[in-house]
């Protein structure tokens, strides 16, 4: 990979950006939405828009996250306009096979989504970006906060998530 | 004594402060029980979040796989989702075909494209003698200086925690189907805990200076999804036969070296 590492400031070629950035961006959107169909669509659309840009790799990464987040927001707004629920994915089991296993899995998914929903959108994005290896300076630039504030915001958001997650787990009477 | 703020501690844990400042925080932590406790809580919260996300990824992937594996039943579409292809599908398909062909060429060992993209194959260091191999789901603590673990459905999470500051962790991509972890000499109290799709390598505060080497983790290059979490922070991910790393001390080809905070 070393041979293809992009120099800072050099316009990225699309193939490199796709190869380097697709997995993390897909994971980010999937975690945000909990919906693999939405993640597939949003990430493809974001990369399609990247074709029109001439950005260095270090700028393409945060740019894609901003675009993907906006696309997720657009979808949520469109759905609301149509009077549909934002949390659209039904979580009742529809497969008879190993139903109990699936019920537990769906409950775990629901727990994470509810715990993430306890955070502001900014804080949820911040934790998910940190999880993808974004540095504080990049997070600050994307979220429009001071770089020196990110440490405190991360600490507060992590504690809030864990508090919510643990109490949901306790309420469900389960433990990982 | 003036205590450290959570912002300072979180930045220290995330290796987001300058070396001078980092040394100051480390010195303070050596002398201050209260701040050490807060740092431990922050680290535990980060590990909890990472753990929840890894499980979340696995659960979402299982849901998606389940939908694909049921051709006899209609895949549930969300209300309002479009049954037709989106406008950009043609371009996206062309992109996917292009990279699919490039990816296929890159998979061929010895192909020039593979060497161009990923560099020449790295040397694989053999694990310590007589490693313990653990398959299957039960969570269990495993003694010994070396272990191999089989991924579950192409997925494996390796969590390394509780080693002393400045302990080195070396993560390497290996051409094997199992993951390998080796403890250095002097880490007799460290242990492995294995569960389905996860391997925990837990140190016990043995001073790094007394360790005869580094903790070594070898991850199969063929992993569909691999992740290494060091004290609650994701530091490496493996997919598509490649490893992406963050916060490493050094990186050379398929080998990355990390250092426990402090």
Mean pLDDT over each residue of chain B, to the nearest integer: 74
- The average pLDDT across A104-124 equals 94
Q: Tell me which chain A residues have a C-beta less than 8 angstroms from the C-beta of B86.
A: 41, 44-45
Residues A106 and A176 in one domain: yes
Residues A83 and A3 in one domain: yes
Radius of gyration of chain B (CA): 21
CB-based contact B10 A31, cutoff 8 Å: no
Residues B192 and B216 in one domain: yes
Domains identified in chain B, total number: 3
Say if A65 is an interface residue toward chain B (CB within 8 Å).
no
CATH number for the domain spanning A1: value is 1.10.1740
Residues A83 and A29 in one domain: yes
Say if A127 is an interface residue toward chain B (CB within 8 Å).
yes
In terms of pLDDT, which residue wins out, A126 or B145? A126
Task: Determine the pLDDT at residue B213.
Answer: 82
Task: Determine the pLDDT at residue A96.
Answer: 53
Task: Determine the pLDDT at residue B61.
Answer: 85
Residues B114 and B126 in one domain: no
Domain contains B137:
yes
* Per-residue pLDDT band at A117 (split at 50, 70, 90): very high
Residues B95 and B30 in one domain: no
Residues B107 and B184 in one domain: no
CB-based contact B49 A150, cutoff 8 Å: no
Domains identified in chain A, total number: 2
Residues B134 and B175 in one domain: yes
CATH number for the domain spanning A155: value is 1.10.10
Q: Chain B residue with minimal CA distance to A34?
A: B60
pLDDT digit string, tens, across residues B145-179:
888 888 888 888 898 888 888 888 999 999 888 89
Domain assignment of residue A173, given as a range: 98-176
Say if A158 is an interface residue toward chain B (CB within 8 Å).
yes
Domain boundary among A89, A124, A144: A89
Place of tokens 């001073």: B207
Kindly tell me if the per-residue pLDDT of B255 is higher than 60. yes
Q: Tell me which chain A residues have a C-beta less than 8 angstroms from the C-beta of B98.
A: 15
The predicted model scores a pTM of 0.65
Residues A58 and A136 in one domain: no
Query: Which of B10, B49, B237 is the closest to A162 by Cβ?
Result: B49
Residues A73 and A136 in one domain: no
Query: Which of A37, A135, A162 is the closest to B81 by Cβ?
Result: A37
Map residue B154 onto helix, strand or coil. coil
Residues B213 and B98 in one domain: no
Query: Which of A1, A35, A130 is the closest to B117 by Cβ?
Result: A1
Mean pLDDT over each residue of chain A, to the nearest integer: 83
Residues B128 and B108 in one domain: no
Domain contains B144:
yes
Domain contains B77:
no
Residues B50 and B33 in one domain: yes
The HSE-up count of residue A20 (CA atoms within 13 Å, CB side) is 22
Domain assignment of residue B95, given as a range: 90-118
Domain boundary among A64, A89, A114: A89
Kindly tell me if the per-residue pLDDT of B109 is higher than 50. no
Predicted ipTM of the assembly: 0.81
Instruction: Compute φ and ψ for B15, nearest 5 degrees.
Output: 55, 50
A64: exposed, middle or buried (Cβ count in 10 Å: 0-12, 13-18, 19+)? buried
Lowest mean pLDDT among B8-17, B140-149, B196-205, B235-244: B140-149
Residue B258 bridge partners (DSSP): B169
Domain boundary among A89, A106, A132: A89
CB-based contact A165 B52, cutoff 8 Å: yes
Shortest CA gap B111–chain A (Å): 14
């Amino acid at each position: 990979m070393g041979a293809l590492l992009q120099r800072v400031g050099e316009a990225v070629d699309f193939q490199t950006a796709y190869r380097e950035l697709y997995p993390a961006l897909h994971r980010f959107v999937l975690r945000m939405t909990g919906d693999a169909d939405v993640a597939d669509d949003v990430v493809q659309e974001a990369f399609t828009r990247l074709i029109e840009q001439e950005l260095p790799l270090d700028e393409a990464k945060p740019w894609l996250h901003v675009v993907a987040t906006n696309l997720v927001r657009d979808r949520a707004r469109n759905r609301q306009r149509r009077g549909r629920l934002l949390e659209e994915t039904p979580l009742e089991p529809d497969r008879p096979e190993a139903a109990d296993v699936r019920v537990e899995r769906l409950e775990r998914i629901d727990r994470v989504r509810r715990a993430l929903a306890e955070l502001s959108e900014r804080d949820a994005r911040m934790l998910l970006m940190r999880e993808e290896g974004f540095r504080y300076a990049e997070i600050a630039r994307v979220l429009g906060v001071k770089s020196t504030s990110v440490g405190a915001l991360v600490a507060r958001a992590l504690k809030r998530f864990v508090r919510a997650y643990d109490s949901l787990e306790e309420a469900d009477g389960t433990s990982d | 004594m003036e205590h450290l703020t959570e912002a300072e501690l979180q930045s220290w844990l995330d290796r987001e402060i300058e070396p001078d400042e980092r040394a100051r925080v480390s010195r303070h932590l050596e002398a201050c029980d209260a701040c050490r406790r807060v740092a431990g809580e922050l680290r535990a919260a980060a590990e909890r979040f990472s753990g929840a996300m890894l499980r979340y990824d696995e659960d979402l992937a299982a849901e998606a796989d389940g939908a694909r594996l049921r051709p006899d039943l209609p895949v549930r579409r969300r209300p309002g989702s479009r049954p037709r292809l989106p406008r950009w599908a043609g371009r996206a398909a062309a992109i996917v075909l292009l990279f699919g062909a490039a990816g296929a060429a890159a998979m061929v060992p010895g192909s020039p494209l593979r060497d161009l993209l990923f560099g020449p194959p790295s040397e694989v260091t053999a694990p310590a003698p007589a490693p313990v191999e653990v398959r299957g789901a039960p969570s269990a603590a495993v003694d010994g200086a070396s272990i191999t673990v089989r991924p579950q459905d192409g997925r494996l999470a390796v969590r390394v925690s509780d080693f002393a500051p400045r302990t080195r962790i070396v993560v390497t991509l290996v051409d094997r189907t199992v993951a390998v972890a080796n403890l250095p000499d002097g880490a007799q109290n460290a242990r492995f805990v294995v569960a389905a799709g996860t391997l925990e390598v837990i140190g016990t505060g043995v001073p790094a200076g007394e360790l005869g080497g580094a903790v070594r983790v070898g991850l199969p290059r063929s992993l569909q999804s691999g992740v290494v979490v060091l004290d609650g922070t994701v530091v490496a991910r493996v997919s598509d036969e490649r490893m992406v790393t963050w916060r490493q001390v050094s990186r050379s080809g398929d080998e990355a070296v990390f250092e426990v905070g402090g």
